Amino acid sequence: MLIRALVPGDRPVIAEMLGHCGAFSPEEIRVALEVFDEGAASAGPDGYALFGADQRGHLQGYVCVGHVPLTASTWDLYWICVHPEAQRRGVARALMAHAEAHAAAHGGGRIVAQVSGRPNNAAVRRFYQAMGYELVGRIHDYFKDGDDGVFYRRVIGPPDPSR
Amino acid sequence: MLIRALVPGDRPVIAEMLGHCGAFSPEEIRVALEVFDEGAASAGPDGYALFGADQRGHLQGYVCVGHVPLTASTWDLYWICVHPEAQRRGVARALMAHAEAHAAAHGGGRIVAQVSGRPNNAAVRRFYQAMGYELVGRIHDYFKDGDDGVFYRRVIGPPDPSR
């Protein structure tokens, strides 16, 4: 499995994957594709970085990460999605490790992620905790009533040089 | 004092206010003006809403609020700034009350705000708590080393109808 940068031509496969993985609402898919279009079109340091897990030409999953504006070295793990037929094979773990290494190589000192607190999202939260993410906050009813926003953070680099 | 929507022609006064209030770095001012440009140019329901406190034609402060994408009814208080010569006169309180009423009138059920945890920002945090905001999370070193991100939340409306 190769982790590679995504390009605009990957869009149809990403759209299909987002629809089939079952975790995202139509509005979430629309926003994910907006972010894909912006990230895949520009390779600049300030936008979204997109990486896919490519198994002999077939994308198994992807991750989207980017520097948080107005922070010195905090990055956000905006999106991670694995095709249902490729789950439970370490794809998400490989994507996340690659995204963290990319952030660290570009000055990232920590990663944050914001995850749904819905009961049916418990596997995702366990995954973040298994990857070394620490629970740092919970906003009740953030996404909607009964769906909290749960915030995670992991330190990935040395302290900011400007301290 | 009149609270009114901001228009593109207010930009020079806003820029001067952001520079003089002493709370914002050059990069924060640059981002605040980008947000101003986007919000003042469009009156659509999905963008930023900007309101100023106008005392006989002189702007004393402003607030920026908007619906958080992918949430049912959560709004974010993105920015609030009061001219140093107009502080301690209830301007921030009036701006925040207006922003909350605007959000509630457009379906907002709760407001979140993200504030610097720096010791010299304690007055701002006290202000949020005095306005009924509850501390819901803290991400260490979020803005930079030694500068945490502190998250507040206030309920402003009834439960989501979709529950």
Is the minimum CB–CB distance between A143 and chain B shorter than 8 Å? yes
What is the residue-averaged pLDDT of chain B? 91
Domain boundaries, chain B: 2-155
**Of the options 3.40.50.2000, 3.40.1280.10, 3.40.630.30, 3.40.50.300, the CATH number for the domain spanning B2-155:** 3.40.630.30
CB-CB under 8 Å, A144 with B28: no
Q: Is A33 left (phi over 0), alpha (psi -120 to 50) or beta?
A: alpha
| CA-based nearest distance A32→chain B, Å | 10
Which residue carries 């009533």 as its tokens?
A145
* Residue contacts between A and B (CB atoms, under 8 Å): 88
Return the pLDDT at A163: 42
Among B84, B79, B108, B73, which Cα is nearest to B96's? B79
Nearest residue on chain B to A68, alpha-carbon basis:
B143
pLDDT at B42 > cutoff 90: no
CB–CB of B22/B40 below 8 Å? no
Residue range B4-33: mean pLDDT, rounded: 93
Nearest residue on chain A to B110, alpha-carbon basis:
A142
Does the ipTM surpass 0.85?
A: no
Nearest residue on chain A to B143, alpha-carbon basis:
A71
Which residue carries 């370490």 as its tokens?
A90
| CA-based nearest distance B28→chain A, Å | 6
Is the minimum CB–CB distance between B151 and chain A shorter than 8 Å? yes
Is the minimum CB–CB distance between B118 and chain A shorter than 8 Å? no
Q: Kindly report each contact of residues A67-70 with a partner whose C-beta sits within 8 Å and lies 24 or more positions away, as own/partner.
A: A67/A103, A67/A106, A67/A108, A68/A112, A69/B31, A70/B27, A70/B28, A70/B31, A70/B143
Pairwise CA distance, residues B62 & B36, whole Å: 10
pLDDT in tens, chain A (163 residues): 999 999 999 999 999 999 998 888 898 999 999 999 999 987 665 689 999 999 999 999 999 999 998 899 999 999 999 998 888 889 999 999 999 999 999 999 999 999 999 988 898 999 999 999 999 999 999 999 999 999 999 999 877 665 4
CB neighbour list of residue B101: distance below 8 Å, 6 or more residues apart: none
Q: How confident is the model at residue B47 (pLDDT cuts 50, 70, 90)?
A: confident
Q: Which residues of B touch A46 (CB under 8 A)?
A: none
Pairwise CA distance, residues A85 & B160, whole Å: 35
CB–CB of A68/A74 below 8 Å? yes
* Token duo for residue A9: 């031509």
CB–CB of B62/A135 below 8 Å? no
| CA-based nearest distance B107→chain A, Å | 12
Q: How confident is the model at residue B163 (pLDDT cuts 50, 70, 90)?
A: very low
Candidate from A139, A146, A153 with C-beta closest to B136: A139
pLDDT at B135 > cutoff 70: yes
